[in-house]
Structure 1
Amino acid sequence: MSSQTSFPKQRTPGQMLRALRGNWGALPRLLLLFWQSGRKEVMFLLVVSLATGVAPVVQLVFLRHLIDSALSFINGQERLSMVLVWLVLLLLAYIAGIFLLQTEHWIGFGVQELLKARIQERLLKNAGQLPLGQFESAAYYDQLERAQKGVDNQIFSTLAFMVQTPATFFSIVSLLFYVALGSPLFPCLLLIGTLLPLTMIIRHHKQRYLAERKLTSDERRLNYFEEMLRTRPAAAELRLFHIQEHFLQLRRHIFNGLRDHRLQQERKLVVTSIIGDVGQTLTLGLTLFGVVALMAAGSFSLGAYATYFNAVIQFQQFLFTFLLDIATIDRDMHYIQDIFEYLDLVQSSQPPNGNRKAQQTPNVPAIQFEQVSFSYPGTEHPVLRNLNLRIQAGERIALIGENGAGKSTLAKLLLGLYQPTEGRILVNGKDLRELDFTSWRTQCAMVFQSFMRYQVTTRENIGFGDLRQLTHEPAIRSAALKSGADEMIQRLPQQYETPLGKAYDENGQDLSGGQWQKLALARAYLRNAAVLVLDEPTAALDARAEVEVYRQFRDVSHGKSALLISHRLGSARLADRIIVLENGHIVEEGTHSELLTHDGLYAAMFKIQAHWYQ
């Protein structure tokens, strides 16, 4: 569990006002998004809110006239028809108020849904635009968790309160004049009684946010354990090693710690609410005492007294609701700020070439690494150190080395997924950072060591390699034939339209690791890329399938700049040149026969593997 959360000390009113201004810095951006989500709807909503806000005063006026008319009728001074007129008007005012309130809710809900969808889409889009290095940081996932929580919880309540706040404000203004008719001191007294709980609630919200922010990592860890315990990926090992109870205990420990923090916050909220409610009740009592005194002095008729008494109570209720809404929005602004901070990550981490125009690299590129060093974010140990490598246009390179030597990292640097810590990468003599990354990546294809298993159809699994050919069946099948996946696909119930995986479709088909890997290869082959990178492309394949994959690689990579990463040293013979990495350095390079003659690291690794086949 995280260490005990520390809370801020009591702040002065000036400090609270400065904090409010700081918290509300995100409000203009939120209002702009709100406006952009539906201009007509927002305008109509404001009109409805204005009418809803005025409705209580209209109802009070009609109620006063109804009571006075009824008394006059009893005394024989008024006809019954006038009493009925005021009664009908009062009923119509109440019905109109109900209609306006429900209309406000309906329109507001629709605009909220549009805004939530817009922000959620921006969060997802931003995640796809961030540099890959961001995903190496636990702090990034904490920030994403807070932003997602803001979208899922706070933004909805914020907008709900923002929608009803104009109506509440209009009600307060209209009732203010009505209550002030009795005495200007009455609204002032009610305001003082309401500000006390408001300041306490704002302070409590601030403390709660700080506690939740500090516990973000624990909440993510709790979600991880719960996801692992209830989903398929870990199910086999949990049963085999009998470790389910162990993870349940870990989950229970984190949950209890989070629960204790939340209970502590709830206890503070209860105390705050009691003190605030008592203060409100006392000020309301003093105000009502003043109203009774005015009636005793003959300042009010019975109808005026009844409506004024009602107006005072409504004024305090609306005032408290309005100020509570302000306090709630102030609380939510912390979370809204988290959303915008996450959205701003893309701009703050945008590579220097972000605004350059797309440039198509002519033909098959020559690639050169010049004194390239790289360390993953948050680590000081370099994965690559002062690496120099030139890949000629159309040359096939095999990268060989032990685990952790930097082979996959080198490939990701080549694709522009990471940026060198030092040095530079040249593509046809141009610094890769000066090229448009999106354009450059369309000219590259890669099978990652940890490839994706998309829970969609077989055709889509291949078609994602080039969305332009997603529905082009001949191209899809040609890629499947090259990867060796077509034979397997033909045996599926719906062949290329078969849904894969059972997570979202009961009729989905499960595939073996090798079959999934063939689809990943087909995905790479679908894109007619000038640069082809295969990272352990046969790790899950049997011997016969492996031979076929390498035969196809030899044909498919002809005329391309290709990089083959593999622990199977026999496959290195397909390359024009073999590069041997050790501890981030190139220690050997040459052809298969040259390296065997050199009798260095490559020869030693080859002999170890060959020994098992003798």
Structure 2
Amino acid sequence: MKNYKNMFGVAIKSIDFAWQTNRRLMIMIMLFHIFQGAVVYLQFTSFSSIVDEIIKIKQGHGRTSELVTQSVVLGLSFLLPLMVGNINTHYRMIFRMQQSVRLEMYKIERQGKLDIGTIESSSYQNLLRSAQEWGNGSVLNLQDFFFNSATNFASIITSISILWSLNHWLVVFAVLAAAPVYFFYKKYSMEVFRIRYFSINDQRIINNRISHFEELQKAVDVILLKLQTWLKDQIRDHKMSYNNKIIAAERKKAISYSIMSLWYLLFLFAAIGLMTREALTGGIAVGGLLLAFSTYTRFYQTINGYIESIGYAEEASRYAARWFELFALQPRIVSKENAVRIAFKEPPLIEFDNVSFRYPNEEGETPFVLQHISFTIKPGEKVAIVGVNGSGKTTLIKLLCRIYDPTEGNIYVNGINLKDIHLEDWQSALGILFQDFPVYNLTIRESIGVGRIEDNGQLPAQKEERLQRAAQYSGADDFIKDYDQLIWKEFAGGIDLSKGQHQRLAVARMFYRNAAVTILDEPTASIDAVTEEKIFSTLEQNLQGNTVILITHRFSTVKNADQIILLEHGRIIEYGSHRELMLLDKQYAALYNMQAKRYLESEEVRDR
């Protein structure tokens, strides 16, 4: 992972991003900023010329035409910056919007290329949360600093040139007066950043506690459990702790600025004395005296403002660096250069050969989650993977999906090592429904259709028939009244669905996908027993010929599986058909009978 810590390096990356967005517009905006930085001194010079010309006219050797010319120049020096400023603001807005869109698309593109294992990692999640503290604005703010720097540099160079032409010592005094500004601002900026950086956890706690009042499900608990006062006290304590740290930093800033003001005042008096002496000795005219004073004070204000902007830019760069670090991330799981291309039109033979796995961790090795796993899934078999929580069921499926690669051992598909098969080809062969399935805020038709988005070019009648059949198989047709119904209650006409209804739509997506290998991780956890039975009957009838891998806690749903794998602590402890395992009369039989007994007892209670 690249580490962008230097503000200059981050700024260059940000500027390059802006350059790639719209070069012509960037150059035009830059020229506008340079003009705005220099033109203000035209006001000073023209006004000083007007003063000198008035004095000359009173002395009898001035020219009225020159006075009129300088007055017109003075008027234009006020008018032109206003016009250019308005035009610049307009194009800056357009440019910022273009960059915002491109940045969002680029971010999505980069994140879309990462593998699931990388996205799941704690290092990625921590980096993402850190980048999101300022959002995309941190990158765009650095580009604003670049444009504003053009204005400030043009202003600084112009003012130094004017002061140098009047008296070289004025430049020395101006530079010495402004010298401490950077160090004061840098110290303050670093201190505030440290406070914010080390208070990230406090901010997350605050936002989490506030969310209990804003999110419906949490708000219900807050009311029923009377948590208002307890949560309010936590929010107040964390906010006061954070605010006290900021107040302390602001106090130091105020003291530092007072010292800095005295330093500036010292050199201002020296400059005034020098300018007054020059005016009395005839070294500069009265207008020149006004020009020198205006330029000198303007120079300090420009330096002061610019250094302050550097402080903000440094802070923005620290957050923007997180985005560039994210953009530089490379997926851990990729296809080999000469990966085997396979179009999986038929279910493949899948073999796990002595597979062991531990989750990757930057801080050291983690314990093995799976150990010495070996089994075979024949084409078209229905296989159930069962076991208590934490036994390694979902991890095994992640390895099969190649979200991760085995730490030891290999997985073979049709005799080829899974690592040697092109990743996209293998992913296209899979239909996966994990326990934590996503909810799509789309129409019902679209929510099912995303199961195989590449089929959008299919003839409408064929697609419609397939959609409705998928809904029927999953039991979703029981509540679907209109396939164009929007599932998003926050919008007019939108509706909300229960968790069980959402799960039935998720199962419908898998039926619609009709993959060579369908993997279902607890697909009926939120579904009633009647619909569950319907779904599993449909699975057996309508996915004939396809390989189906089912992960479940409910042993009653796996009776008809061709093979059942019982996992415990990451190891296979029993493997066979339901009949074989019941005859074995070991752990599977005990767990099955225990669940069956509970089910019968609940049925008896309902019958009374």
Question: Residues 239-296 of structure 1, C-alpha deviation per residue, up to 9 Å, x if partnerless?
Answer: 3333343333333333333223322332233233333333223222321221112112
1:431 has 2:417 as partner = yes
Once the two structures are TM-superposed, the CA of residue 21 in structure 1 deviates from its matched residue by 9.0
Q: Distance in 2 between matches of 1:280 and 1:439?
A: 69
Q: Which residue of 2 aligns with 1:351?
A: 333
Q: Which residue of 1 aligns with 2:351?
A: 368
Q: Which residue of 2 aligns with 1:485?
A: 476
Q: How does 1:190-589 map to 2 (within 5 A)?
A: 190-345=174-329, 347=330, 349-353=331-335, 359-362=341-344, 363-378=346-361, 380-470=366-456, 472-490=463-481, 495-502=482-489, 504-589=490-575
Determine if contact 1:108/1:163 at 8 Å carries over to the other structure: no
Q: How does 1:62-101 map to 2 (within 5 A)?
A: 62-78=46-62, 80-101=64-85
Q: Distance in 1 between matches of 2:127 and 2:115?
A: 15
Q: Distance in 2 between matches of 1:81 and 1:392?
A: 101
For residue 351 of structure 1, give the secondary structure of its aligned residue in structure 2.
coil
Question: What letter matches 1:359 in structure 2?
Answer: R
Q: Which runs of 5+ in 1 are unaligned?
A: 1-19
Question: Residues 480-511 of structure 1, C-alpha deviation per residue, up to 9 Å, x if partnerless?
Answer: 12212123112xxxx11211132x31432121
Q: Distance in 2 between matches of 1:559 and 1:411?
A: 20
Determine if contact 1:415/1:441 at 8 Å carries over to the other structure: yes
Counterparts in 2 of 1:88 and 1:357: CA distance versus 1, 3 Å: farther
Q: Distance in 1 between matches of 2:11 and 2:530?
A: 62
For residue 283 of structure 1, give the secondary structure of its aligned residue in structure 2.
helix
Q: Which residue of 1 aligns with 2:606?
A: none
Question: Residues 360-403 of structure 1, C-alpha deviation per residue, up to 9 Å, x if partnerless?
Answer: 34432221222222233457233211211211122110111112
Q: Distance in 2 between matches of 1:185 and 1:557?
A: 89
Q: Which runs of 5+ in 2 are unaligned?
A: 601-608
Q: Which residue of 1 aligns with 2:605?
A: none
Once the two structures are TM-superposed, the CA of residue 226 in structure 1 deviates from its matched residue by 2.0
Question: What letter matches 2:24 in structure 1?
Answer: K
Counterparts in 2 of 1:336 and 1:272: CA distance versus 1, 3 Å: farther
Counterparts in 2 of 1:479 and 1:593: CA distance versus 1, 3 Å: same
Question: What letter matches 2:559 in structure 1?
Answer: R
Once the two structures are TM-superposed, the CA of residue 572 in structure 1 deviates from its matched residue by 0.9
User: Of residues 79, 94, 97 in structure 2, which corresponds to 1:113?
Assistant: 97
Q: Which residue of 1 aligns with 2:603?
A: none
Question: What letter matches 2:129 in structure 1?
Answer: E
Question: What letter matches 2:473 in structure 1?
Answer: K
Determine if contact 2:10/2:321 at 8 Å carries over to the other structure: yes
Counterparts in 2 of 1:220 and 1:464: CA distance versus 1, 3 Å: farther
Once the two structures are TM-superposed, the CA of residue 613 in structure 1 deviates from its matched residue by 4.1
For residue 409 of structure 2, give the secondary structure of its aligned residue in structure 1.
strand
Counterparts in 2 of 1:373 and 1:233: CA distance versus 1, 3 Å: farther
Determine if contact 2:211/2:218 at 8 Å carries over to the other structure: no
Q: Distance in 1 between matches of 2:138 and 2:115?
A: 28
Q: Distance in 2 between matches of 1:419 and 1:218?
A: 36
Question: Residues 53-80 of structure 1, C-alpha deviation per residue, up to 9 Å, x if partnerless?
Answer: 3312322332222222323333444454
1:50 has 2:34 as partner = yes
Question: What letter matches 1:218 in structure 2?
Answer: D
Counterparts in 2 of 1:546 and 1:331: CA distance versus 1, 3 Å: closer
Determine if contact 1:374/1:385 at 8 Å carries over to the other structure: yes
Counterparts in 2 of 1:21 and 1:124: CA distance versus 1, 3 Å: closer
For residue 480 of structure 2, give the secondary structure of its aligned residue in structure 1.
helix
Question: What letter matches 1:28 in structure 2?
Answer: I
Question: What letter matches 1:383 in structure 2?
Answer: V
- Of 598-607 and 265-274, deviating more is 265-274
RMSD: 2.5
Q: Which residue of 2 aligns with 1:182?
A: 166
- Of 350-359 and 560-569, deviating more is 350-359
Determine if contact 1:142/1:216 at 8 Å carries over to the other structure: no
Determine if contact 1:73/1:83 at 8 Å carries over to the other structure: no
Determine if contact 1:397/1:578 at 8 Å carries over to the other structure: yes
- Of 129-138 and 50-59, deviating more is 129-138
Question: What letter matches 1:116 in structure 2?
Answer: S
Once the two structures are TM-superposed, the CA of residue 102 in structure 1 deviates from its matched residue by 2.9
For residue 493 of structure 2, give the secondary structure of its aligned residue in structure 1.
coil
Once the two structures are TM-superposed, the CA of residue 452 in structure 1 deviates from its matched residue by 1.5
Once the two structures are TM-superposed, the CA of residue 134 in structure 1 deviates from its matched residue by 4.3
Number of aligned residues: 589
TM-score by length of 1: 0.89
Once the two structures are TM-superposed, the CA of residue 327 in structure 1 deviates from its matched residue by 3.9
Q: Distance in 2 between matches of 1:356 and 1:117?
A: 35
Determine if contact 1:150/1:338 at 8 Å carries over to the other structure: no
Determine if contact 1:116/1:155 at 8 Å carries over to the other structure: no
Once the two structures are TM-superposed, the CA of residue 606 in structure 1 deviates from its matched residue by 1.3
Q: Distance in 2 between matches of 1:354 and 1:529?
A: 24
Question: What letter matches 2:162 in structure 1?
Answer: Y
Determine if contact 1:191/1:319 at 8 Å carries over to the other structure: no
Determine if contact 1:202/1:331 at 8 Å carries over to the other structure: no
Q: Which residue of 1 aligns with 2:595?
A: 609
Determine if contact 1:385/1:584 at 8 Å carries over to the other structure: yes
Q: Distance in 1 between matches of 2:240 and 2:405?
A: 42
Determine if contact 2:181/2:307 at 8 Å carries over to the other structure: no
Determine if contact 1:145/1:220 at 8 Å carries over to the other structure: no
Q: Distance in 2 between matches of 1:563 and 1:442?
A: 16
For residue 347 of structure 2, give the secondary structure of its aligned residue in structure 1.
coil
Determine if contact 1:370/1:387 at 8 Å carries over to the other structure: yes
Counterparts in 2 of 1:486 and 1:23: CA distance versus 1, 3 Å: same
For residue 465 of structure 1, give the secondary structure of its aligned residue in structure 2.
helix
Counterparts in 2 of 1:288 and 1:109: CA distance versus 1, 3 Å: farther
Once the two structures are TM-superposed, the CA of residue 604 in structure 1 deviates from its matched residue by 0.6
Question: Residues 140-177 of structure 1, C-alpha deviation per residue, up to 9 Å, x if partnerless?
Answer: 33321221234344334322221121122112112211
Determine if contact 1:469/1:476 at 8 Å carries over to the other structure: no
Q: Which residue of 2 aligns with 1:6?
A: none
Counterparts in 2 of 1:26 and 1:401: CA distance versus 1, 3 Å: same
- Of 310-319 and 74-83, deviating more is 74-83
Question: What letter matches 2:270 in structure 1?
Answer: L
For residue 236 of structure 1, give the secondary structure of its aligned residue in structure 2.
helix
Counterparts in 2 of 1:371 and 1:280: CA distance versus 1, 3 Å: farther
Question: What letter matches 2:484 in structure 1?
Answer: E
- Of 408-417 and 207-216, deviating more is 207-216
Question: What letter matches 2:486 in structure 1?
Answer: P
